[in-house]
Chains A and B, each alone.
Chain A
């Protein structure tokens, strides 16, 4: 299969909401006829969904207290004078 090189670029631009309408039509037309590129496009979208699915770690419970305890002392005095 000899697909135009720019088709892959259009796929990426599409995923970044960065594809102009003219090129979007070219991409759609091509995907309508090319199984191989459909597969690549599907894999790209799946990859994005997988990366997004990992976003769920949280800072430890005592995080803020630890940071506050490590701040330089001088500023603390200024704060207490107010």
Chain B
């Protein structure tokens, strides 16, 4: 996969947009997921993920092949998410938190004429609770928790993506996990 990505990047640098479409296909769910868990709603997740890909395309010549491409891409997307969180005004921020509970992923899979089984309703409510608690975390803890547990990245990769010392990443994961434990222990 890494070899394929390298080849596609060479093609993109030569101006081959089809090669870039392949890259988008490869990473679109990861960046969308990141945006969704960081920002709490689908609309902003899509905007951020699109913007990240466009920036990656425009700036492809500044990508250093010594690093993993996914690390570079995550870095662009994570920075966009963090900027957006910081720019949110407090009242708008509250809206976003409520929007964070809209993650009704199971709804769309169930035909509208059949009643929702009780277990699935419970499952949906649980998912909403968890998503709501993730979005309530302060941004610096939210980033590391999402990168580690949603995107399943290593501590070293997270440190590169966020441009933070490894020790800082560890401390933030500990604090984020501790905060979530207190919120989720009784669910």
The 8 closest A-B pairs by CB, nearest first: A78-B15, A59-B32, A59-B28, A12-B174, A79-B15, A51-B149, A43-B185, A47-B181
Main secondary structure on chain A at its contact with chain B?
Answer: helix
Q: How far is the CB of B133 from chain A (nearest CB, A)?
A: 9
Residues on the A chain within 8 Å of B24, using CB: 63-64, 67-68
Query: Which of A8, A57, A58, A70 interacts with B54 by CB under 8 Å?
Result: A70
Residues of A at the B interface (CB closer than 8 Å) are 8-9, 12-13, 15-16, 18, 40, 43-44, 46-48, 50-60, 63-64, 66-68, 70-72, 75-76, 78-79, 81-82
B-chain residues with CB within 8 Å of residue A52 when the two chains form the complex: 149-150
Residues in chain B within 8 A of chain A (CB atoms)? 14-18, 20-21, 24-25, 28-29, 31-33, 36-37, 42, 45-46, 49-50, 53-54, 57-58, 103, 105, 126-127, 130-131, 134, 145, 149-150, 155, 170, 173-174, 177-178, 180-181, 184-185, 187
B150 nearest CB neighbor, chain A only: A55
A51-B149, A54-B130, A57-B33 given as contacts; is B170 within 8 A of A16 (CB)?
yes
Report how far A54 CA is from B40 CA in the complex, Å: 12
Structural contact, B185 and A46, CB atoms closer than 8 A = yes
Query: Are B180 and A54 in contact, CB atoms less than 8 angstroms apart?
Result: no
A62's nearest neighbour on chain B, judged by CB, is B46
Residue from A15, A46, A51 whose CB has the most chain B CB atoms within 10 Å: A51
Question: Are A67 and B54 touching (Cβ within 8 A)?
Answer: yes
| A53–B106 CA distance with the chains assembled, in angstroms | 13
Interfacial chain A residues near B180, Cβ < 8 Å: 47, 51
Distance of B176 from chain A, by nearest CB (Å): 10
Q: Tell whether, in the assembled complex, residue A51 and residue B46 are in contact, meaning their CB atoms are under 8 Å apart.
A: no
B158: min CB distance to chain A, Å: 11
- 5 A-B pairs besides A18-B155, A63-B24, A71-B17 with CB distance below 8 A are A12-B177, A55-B149, A57-B33, A67-B54, A68-B21
